[in-house]
Amino acid sequence: MHENLDVFVIGAGVVGLSTAIRALEAGFNVTIFAETFPTDPKSISCASFWAGANHISVATTNALLHRLEADTLSIFLKLIKDQPLVPVMIRLHKEHAEVSGPAYQQQSDHVAHCYSDFRALDSSELPEGVVCGGTFSTIFIDVPKYLLYLMDRFLSSGGRAFRVKLPSVSALVTEKDRPSLAAFPATSTNVSPSFDPAAVINCTGLGAVSLGDVLDTNLYPTRGEILILHAPWINHGLTHHWEDGHITYVIPRQSDGRVILGGTFQPDDWYPTSRAETVKLIKERGIHAYPELLPPGRRENRDINDLEVIEECVGLRPTRKGGVRLEVSSLTVANKSYPIVHNYGHGGAGYQSSWGSAKFAVDLLKSVVKNDD
């Protein structure tokens, strides 16, 4: 019923791609406009390149996020069942805490409620220095492959895409301000759309710095520094809660024996590349919390130089005061009003809330389009 309606999605990170796929499936004619795409070299302007990523709910006090994460988990589980080759796997995860304060207890109770096979660890199972913990199975997403999977799924379902860095959303619908567009992929023969969309979906993550009709001043980066290790022998994830509030986390990937070791959560820190002192700290804490990250036969000395580091990474999580923005506004350009559906500000939870957010955004889209009829 929406066949002839053109919808524009801005952004091709995990949120933009998932939303564009859902909008296509709802029958809209969808075009993505983005500066970066999954086939590009990783760049600091797209958070999705840098995520681990796992699904460990962080929505202890945010009811909307809790719902988005729960919906996303069911959709991922169904996807794994229907398409066993999708680059997402189910593995065991452990939580270890060095202190059992109220903050950890609240998070642990929440996690116990979110994952059906959660089990508190028995004291005999806890390593030295750890006072409590839990274990459950969850999903681990092989990020580089998964982003390519989403892009392929979008294009093969009839979606179109153009590469462009937009100074604002209005520039997209104003011919004289519109930067030149390049068809994506470059070999495709995409014809330009009509530039009179029924609605625009804003999935620009932290794009606030560059994308300003009205800048959302509630957005800020939470810098995440992580390492990619070669450690094919690792088969379960870990979150280790340190006494000083730091977190060490380990996320196994499906391919090439890669394992993520993180990491930092640094609000308002824009520094785009790794810092030597942080790398050293991540390694030291990593081998203390999870000695098996070291290669078999080289664990005795607990020497950080024995870790097989493939890459030092930094990404900027698009965090928003007040949480994800999933709502409708409108933009008036040359006396014409366009509905804008916002879907950004997912912070450290963009993968684990991606499908739930996409569904929510497409429901908003349907409601604005209906009201316009």
Ligand X SMILES: Cc1cc2nc3c(=O)[nH]c(=O)nc-3n(C[C@H](O)[C@H](O)[C@H](O)COP(=O)(O)OP(=O)(O)OC[C@H]3O[C@@H](n4cnc5c(N)ncnc54)[C@H](O)[C@@H]3O)c2cc1C
Nearest to 290 by CA among 257, 255, 261: 261
Question: 184 and 162 in contact (C-beta within 8 Å)?
Answer: yes
Question: Which listed residue (18, 19, 29, 108) binds ligand NAG by CB under 6 A?
Answer: 29
Under the criterion CB under 6 A, does residue 368 sit at the interface with ligand NAG? no
Question: Which listed residue (197, 207, 252, 356) binds ligand X by CB under 6 A?
Answer: 207
**204 vs 217: CA distance, rounded Å:** 14
Under the criterion CB under 6 A, does residue 221 sit at the interface with ligand X? no
The annotation status of 249 as a binding-site residue, yes or no, is yes
For 36, 231, 247, 295, 321, the CA distances from 306, given in Å and listed in that order, are: 35, 11, 22, 7, 40
Under the criterion CB under 6 A, does residue 200 sit at the interface with ligand X? no
Q: Pick the piece of the chain touching ligand X (CB under 6 A) from 45-53, 97-105, 126-134, 148-156.
A: 45-53
Number of residues that bind ligand X (CB under 6 A): 44
The annotation status of 61 as a binding-site residue, yes or no, is no
Binding mask 53-72 for ligand NAG (x = CB under 6 A): --------------------
User: Tokens in use for 42?
Assistant: 């990783």
Count other Cβ atoms within 10 Å, centred on residue 80: 15
Under the criterion CB under 6 A, does residue 194 sit at the interface with ligand NAG? yes
- Based on its alpha-carbon atoms, the radius of gyration of the chain, rounded to whole angstroms, reads 21
User: Tokens in use for 226?
Assistant: 């992580």
Under the criterion CB under 6 A, does residue 320 sit at the interface with ligand X? no
The annotation status of 222 as a binding-site residue, yes or no, is no
Residue 239 is inside which H or E element, if any?
strand 237-241
Identify what 128 binds: ligand X, ligand NAG, none; CB under 5 to 8 Å per kind: none
Question: 19 and 203 in contact (C-beta within 8 Å)?
Answer: yes
Find the shortest distance in angstroms from Cβ 206 to ligand NAG.
Answer: 6
For 111, 146, 238, 247, the CA distances from 281, given in Å and listed in that order, are: 27, 29, 17, 11
Amino acid (one-letter) located at 165: K
Q: Pick the piece of the chain touching ligand X (CB under 6 A) from 76-84, 149-157, 158-166, 323-331.
A: 158-166
177-204 as b/e: b if 16+ CB within 10 A: ebeebeebeeeeebeebeeebbbbbbbb
Nearest to 343 by CA among 213, 203, 209: 203
Closer by beta carbon to ligand NAG, 61 or else 330: 330
Nearest to 353 by CA among 149, 107, 25, 51: 51
Question: Which listed residue (4, 116, 273, 305) binds ligand NAG by CB under 6 A?
Answer: 4
Q: Which residues pair with 337 in a beta bridge?
A: 332
Number of residues that bind ligand NAG (CB under 6 A): 25
The annotation status of 241 as a binding-site residue, yes or no, is yes
Find the shortest distance in angstroms from Cβ 194 to ligand X.
Answer: 19
Burial class (CB in 10 A: 0-12, 13-18, 19+), 87: middle
Binding mask 133-172 for ligand NAG (x = CB under 6 A): ------------------------------------x---
Find the shortest distance in angstroms from Cβ 55 to ligand X.
Answer: 7
Question: Which listed residue (85, 186, 276, 334) binds ligand NAG by CB under 6 A?
Answer: 334
Site of interaction with ligand NAG (CB under 6 A): 3-4, 6, 29, 169, 191, 193-194, 202, 204-205, 207-208, 211, 213-216, 219, 329, 331, 334-335, 340, 344
- Annotated binding-site residues for D-dopa read 241, 249, 317, 348
* Binding residues vs ligand X (CB under 6 A): 10-16, 34-36, 45-48, 50-54, 164-166, 203-207, 210-211, 224, 226, 262-263, 315, 317-318, 344, 346-352
